[in-house]
Chains A and B, each alone.
Chain A
Amino acid sequence: QVQLVESGGGVVQPGRSLRLSCAASGFTFSSYGMDWVRQAPGRGLEWVAVIWYDGSKKYFSDSVKGRFSISRDNSRNTVYLQMNSLRAEDTAVYYCAREGVPGSRSWIQQWGQGTLVTVSS
């Protein structure tokens, strides 16, 4: 079955960097767009970034543009979120998610369990 397993979360000081990883299994990873969605404590869901199935396109929310980057390694079935210049407001559970239709933008169909990032001095 589809599995998405995030790792790399933790406590980091403001201004520092962190890289999240999401290991995928149970499907043809190279065929699907992948997203990162976050949820601050007690708050709603906020989309962060998407990368096309082949890595050809990447888009970010305004709140992270210029600070975060997204990449994927289709040979390792892994998607990454590089987070630089972290701020307190980036504190959240970060979910890796897979889109629903291969080769095309679509709904978010599968979610990982999430990894907590806490930005604090």
Chain B
Amino acid sequence: DIQMTQSPSSLSASVGDRVTIACQASQDISIYLNWYQQKPGKAPKLLIYDASNLETGVPSRFSGSGSGTDFTFTIISLQPEDIATYYCQQYDNLPLTFGQGTRLEI
């Protein structure tokens, strides 16, 4: 199975800050990496697919980059509504695997 390692596991930032989350795969997954946002008590929501593609309707302050084994998720100007847990996930191979999550606080 492909292991996905996210860092940090939690993060405290201020409104307007630039926030970066890293995700590392245990083997080359090309660009088959997605990012999800999950707010408490809610289902996850797709933000970024194929490493850098912004899902329709997602604000442009969210972005993703990377390929191979190393990926980055960025919020360029943190907003209060961005408080959530963020997960990376690979779909290069089954089983699909998720990172352990990054809890973002303000």
Binding site for B on A (CB under 8 A): 35, 37, 44-47, 50, 59, 61-62, 95, 100, 105-114
Contacts and interface: CB of A to CB of B under 8 A. Distances in A.
Most buried by B among A37, A100, A107, A113: A107
Given A45-B44, A107-B50, A112-B43, A50 B94 contact: yes
B82 to A, nearest CB: 18
Given A107-B34, A108-B46, A59 B94 contact: yes
A46 B98 contact: yes
Question: Binding site of B, secondary structure by majority: helix, strand, loop or mixed?
Answer: loop
Nearest to B85: A44
Interface bracket on B: 20 to 34
B98 A45 contact: yes
A107 B87 contact: no
Contacts of A95: 43-44
A90 to B, nearest CB: 16
Given A107-B34, A107-B50, A114 B94 contact: no
B56 to A, nearest CB: 10
